[in-house]
Amino acid sequence: MSKINKTSNSSELNWEKKEWFDRVVTWEKYYEIPHISIPESELKSFQYSIIHRSIYTNSKLVKAKIISGPIRCTFCNIDDENIEHLFFFCPKARTLYMQLLDYIKSETNFDTSALVLNPFNILFGFLIDIECINAINHLFILTKRFIYICRCKNETDPTFGNLLKFIKFKIKLEKMSVSPTENFDKKWGRLGQAFVGGDN
């Protein structure tokens, strides 16, 4: 069975041509993730931009003749900076995801074994039925947003400490804007304590 859906749009077809793209996917499910996981419009748009491959990376900027170079990754300077490298294959990006999982596990005793770090889960979202899955997807989209902000600022060494500050700030804003509070608690569950702490 072909992994390419005949009804796919051009961005989906381009994803499906990648060497690591080894499965048939239902794209509609990935498009639903930002809608159900994120209250912030700008962050939703950011995730949709990843799926649509419209995020500007060094490779895209050079190809569009907006810049002449460099084409290498802003962070590792090893491989060309395209979307999948910037958000998944770059060693510094992968380190942040692993540190995020370690933090979640250590602060909440949350079982992170089902959160496999592969290109599908990182780039498009987790399609698994576990506790707090909407919060999990929100956290990983926030991490990608942080990575992209650092890339745009040419900060070559994004740290987990700064990522954590960024995430906590965003989640505290969400808690203040969500009414009733029960909706926030239902989404974040015990994960909320790790990111809003004594502000409960």
Number of domains forming the structure of the chain = 1
Q: pLDDT tens for residues 53-83?
A: 999 999 999 999 999 988 999 999 999 999 9
Burial 45-61 (b: 16+ CB within 10 A, else e): ebbeebbbbebebbbbb
The answer to whether position 118 is within a domain reads yes
Report the Cα 146 to chain-centroid distance in Å.
9
Q: What is the pTM of this model?
A: 0.92
Tally of CA atoms within 13 A in the half-sphere of 32 that contains its CB: 8
Give the residue from 126, 151, 149 showing the smallest Cα distance to 138.
Answer: 126
Domain that holds residue 169: 10-189
The answer to whether position 194 is within a domain reads no
The answer to whether position 73 is within a domain reads yes
Structural contact between residues 123 and 50, judged by C-beta atoms closer than 8 angstroms: yes
Q: pLDDT tens for residues 177-193?
A: 887 778 899 999 999 98
The answer to whether position 164 is within a domain reads yes
The answer to whether position 63 is within a domain reads yes
